[in-house]
Structures are given as C-alpha cells and as structure tokens.
Amino acid sequence: MKKIIVIGAGISGLSAAIYAQRSGFDVTLIEQHKITGGMCTSWRRNGYLFEGAVHWLTGSSPKTELYQLWKETGALNEAVPVFLHEPFRSVEWNEQILCLFRSIKKTVEHLRVISPKDEQKLSVLVKDVKAFSNMQMPIMDGCTATGEIRRMEKNWAVKETPIVAMTANVMQEDIEKAINSGMNAHLGKPIELETTLKTIKGLICG
C-alpha cells in the first residue's frame, strides 16, 4: 500500500487525508496543534473564547455540490449553524464604510450613493454578477477550473474574464502552471495590497 504524509490538519489537510485514505492510501496526518480543524476551530483559555473561524465558506448551502464534500469530510452537517450576516463584508475607504451585501441589487444601490460617478462601471458589475449567479464553485483545483472557464468562454463567444492566482505556491513552475492554464496573473502570498490593486487595475483598465 502506498503511503502519504499530509502536513497540517486544517480543513484542506483533513480533506486531502480523508479522500486519500478512501482511495486506498496509507495516510499519516501531522498537526502541531492538539486539535484539528485549522481556521474552522476555536478554543477557550483563561475564561476567554478565541474564535479564529473562517468568515466565508463557499459551499455552505445544501443546494451546492460543494456542500456534499463538506458533509462527507465532517466540516458541515445539518446541526452546524451557518450565520448569514448582512452586510457580509465591510471595509473603510476614504473615511467611508463600503459594504458588500448578499443581494447585488442592494450592494450596487449602496455603492451608487458612495460613488455616483461610477454608475457605468456598477452597471457592468451587475451584468457580470448575474451572468455568473447560477454557476457553482467547481470541485477542482484553480488551474483546472481556469481551463474550464476558458473553454466555456470560447464556446459561448464571450469576453475573457480576468483571473488572478493568489497562492502560496510561488515557485517558477507554479507561476508558469498558473499562466499556462489561462490565468492572467500570479500573486504570491503574503498578498500586498498595493501590488494587488495595481494588478487588478492593469487587467481591468488595460
């Protein structure tokens, strides 16, 4: 029997170990913490609760295909509460609070108040979000997903969607793999805000 050692028992490591074992491998899972779960865990110490849990988990809805994967690995089930906060993300920008809501309509109405001059760009945002609203997160790696997106764009004869790799895989071969899969750029972690904004601006504005 082939053996695999998985370093790190966060949600990714646990998932990899579970599916490797189900595929017939002898798996050893190594974690320096005394509990598993990574960013999906919390712990108590000296009367305080330390909550480092994820703020967003794609596939938390039972209607998605990805939910079945989380259910199989034990990350989610009917007894696990999922809190749907509104807005689900807020940031401060130029002494204003920018909010993202689950409703694209509500989000755009909010952004129009903050930046009326961007009316045209906001209309494009609405169109693009609606175009992808029925798509689900593919159960595949980023490069494979990018290739699938490029294939669909070609079949549908639509404009290419900018895709940026944001990953800790920063070896030259990783960068080449991302670009060759059809991605437009590669950003290595830790992510720098200035570089990220410059990259996005370059892809959007040309």
Q: Do residues 90 and 97 make contact, with C-beta atoms less than 8 angstroms apart?
A: yes
Question: In the prediction, which pLDDT does 169 show?
Answer: 86
112 contacts: CB under 8 Å, gap ≥ 6 = 118, 119, 122
Going from the first residue of the chain to its last (206 residues), give the mean pLDDT of each consecutive group of 10, the final group possibly shorter: 88 87 92 78 82 74 84 83 85 88 92 91 89 73 90 88 90 93 92 88 82
Q: What residue segments make up the domains of the chain, in order of their start?
A: 3-54, 87-139, 140-206
Question: In the prediction, which pLDDT does 52 show?
Answer: 67
Print burial letters for 94-118: b (CB count within 10 Å at least 16), e (below 16). eeeebbbbeebeebbebbeeeeeee
Question: In the prediction, which pLDDT does 14 show?
Answer: 87
User: ω into residue 116 within 30 of 0, thus cis?
Assistant: no
Architecture of domain 140-206: 3-Layer(aba) Sandwich (3.40)
Question: In the prediction, which pLDDT does 206 show?
Answer: 67
Question: In the prediction, which pLDDT does 138 show?
Answer: 65
Question: In the prediction, which pLDDT does 137 show?
Answer: 66
